[in-house]
A and B are shown apart, each in its own frame.
Chain A
């Protein structure tokens, strides 16, 4: 069956522009997570959705970052006024239920480069 998909796979943008990154989780997975992988910070958690709700947004690096999820499925991560330090690979993961020990299935990521 289909795994987690993300689009675009690569995005190059200019400093100050807004970008939208999309995640399509595995069908039926209620939990959705965003992570960021960068050279300086390694892999870090950004935000979690249960259904369409994000109970904890404390992982988002700044108020330029926002995310939403609609219909309990697709999620969009938006970065406004991008900065060079936002350059990273943004990973999305989904899980059938948010239970301790449940596997999170990862997408291939979106590589964001801010010039």
Chain B
């Protein structure tokens, strides 16, 4: 079965500094990987996805992630944090061996942005 591990439950940054949210995946085949964001009392929103095309994936709001097969990683980065980035971020792997796309979520990383 596929799984993802988010290495940090909380990350704190200052506004204007870089953001790094770490994710490692486990998959028996070439996976589809996603990052979703959840703002307080809001639904999940897709930031970006990797589906075996370019390994560097650009998403919304200046976020990007790089798929590294040798390291089984899919870390999320942003050059400069904004206050509005404060939210919970989920790394997600797509599992297809059940015959349909089941999303398997990591435990989440809460990003805190201070002024």
Q: Are A and B associated in one complex?
A: yes
User: Which residues of chain A have a CB within 8 Å of any CB of chain B?
Assistant: 3-4, 31, 33, 35, 42-45, 48, 50, 55-56, 59, 91, 93, 95, 98-109
A55 pairs with B99, CB closer than 8 A: yes
Asked whether A108 and B102 contact (CB < 8 A) given A100-B94, A101-B94, A103-B49, the answer is no
The tally of residues in B whose CB lies under 8 Å from a CB in A reads 25
Taking A31-B101, A91-B43, A98-B101 as known contacts, 5 extra A-B pairs with beta carbons closer than 8 A to each other, sorted by chain A number, are A33-B102, A35-B103, A98-B100, A100-B96, A108-B42
User: Which residues of chain B have a CB within 8 Å of any CB of chain A?
Assistant: 32, 34, 36, 42-46, 49, 51-52, 90, 94, 96, 98-108
A50 pairs with B44, CB closer than 8 A: no
CA distance A91 to B50 in the complex (A): 23
Q: How far is the CB of B102 from chain A (nearest CB, A)?
A: 5
- Which of B43, B52, B98, B105 is the one whose CB lies under 8 Å from A56? B98
List residues of chain B with CB within 8 A of the CB of A35.
Answer: 103
